[in-house]
Amino acid sequence: MDHLKPLHIFLKQEVDRMQRVISNVRTTLSDLKLAIDGTIIMSENLRDALDNIFDARIPSTWRKMSWESATLGFWFTDLLDRNAQFSNWLFEGRPICYWMTGFFNPQGFLTAMRQEVARANKYALDDVALTNDVTKLMREELTKGPTEGVYIHGLSLDGAGWDRKQARLMEPLPKLLYTPLPVVHVSAFSQSIGEKSKPGIFYSCPVYKKPKRTDLNYIFPLMLRSAVDADHWILRGVALLGDVK
């Protein structure tokens, strides 16, 4: 029954989507070669793909079924990184730490994690809410995963800095546009039982996939510790980004 665990079902859905993207890219490039050689007719879609590739833009057919990116180069790097994460998960087991924004459906990833915590503790799923804790470690410093929940990495602060010693928000350093956030432990708790008390001031920081802050790019909020009132960061528009390109 291990393959029926929510995160394993989520992985299958993500791999299926990635395979469709790779298949589309392979077909487009193969057909482009044939069209350039004169073996097949250069269709409107192929012409569009050729023009976009020449200008280092993402062909529209690729973008529609994948993700937004500033340039074709960044998009292709994302393709390799995303595929590597799926491959490692498939052949080496669950990662110690996940690149959450490297998923097509990061909200689905969080839902699957909530389901696993709920099942393990016999909580009702609709009673389970997310909780988080920003660690003092970067991804390369981790040696093992959490006992419950997941570790995520790859988030950057926009509009604020991060004090690793105190594990809290601080003013951004001069000339530094984005500040990498250490690994975040995301888990879940039963609202009827209640969450373990966390003293201090917290800012509910929105997390976005991309620098463009739209509803489509919004994922969820993370609670970040602060030495000043949360309004200070709200007025500055502080957010976390999964991709700063």
List pLDDT tens digits, range 10-23: 999 999 999 999 99
**What's the whole-number mean pLDDT along residues 130-157?**
97
Cβ-based neighbour number of residue 242 at 10 Å: 21
- Looking up tokens 């990061």 gives 106
At which residue do the structure tokens 């970067």 appear?
138
Among 37-41, 54-58, 101-105, the least confident range:
37-41
Domain 2-94 shares a fold with domain 99-241: no
- % pLDDT > 70, the chain: 98
Mean of pLDDT over the chain: 95
Domain boundaries, the chain: 2-94, 99-241
Exposure string (b/e) for 132-164, b if CB count within 10 Å is 16 or more? bbbbebebeebeeebeebbbbbbbbbbbbebee
Q: Taking the alpha carbons of 190, 194, 198, 203 in that order, is the dihedral positive or negative? A: positive
Asked if 214 and 162 touch (Cβ cutoff 8 Å), the reply is no
Q: Are 230 and 222 in contact (CB under 8 A)?
A: no
Query: What's the pLDDT score for residue 101?
Result: 93
Closest CA to 205 of 180, 175, 189, 226: 226
**9 — pLDDT class (breaks 50, 70, 90):** very high
CATH number of this structure's domain 2-94: 1.20.1270.280
Looking up tokens 């057909």 gives 31
Domain spanning 99-241: CATH superfamily: Dynein motor C sequence, barrel region (3.10.490.20)
Model pLDDT for residues 178-231, shown as the tens digit of each residue: 999 999 999 999 998 887 778 899 999 999 999 999 999 999 999 999 999 999
* pTM to 2 decimal places: 0.92
Residue 205 phi, psi (nearest 5):
-95, 120
Q: Identify the DSSP state of 192.
A: T
Cβ-count burial of 57 within 10 angstroms (0-12 exposed, 13-18 middle, 19+ buried)? middle
Buried b (16+ CB within 10 A) or exposed e, 204-223: ebbbbbbbeeeeebebeebb
Confidence class of residue 32 from pLDDT cuts 50, 70 and 90? Answer: very high
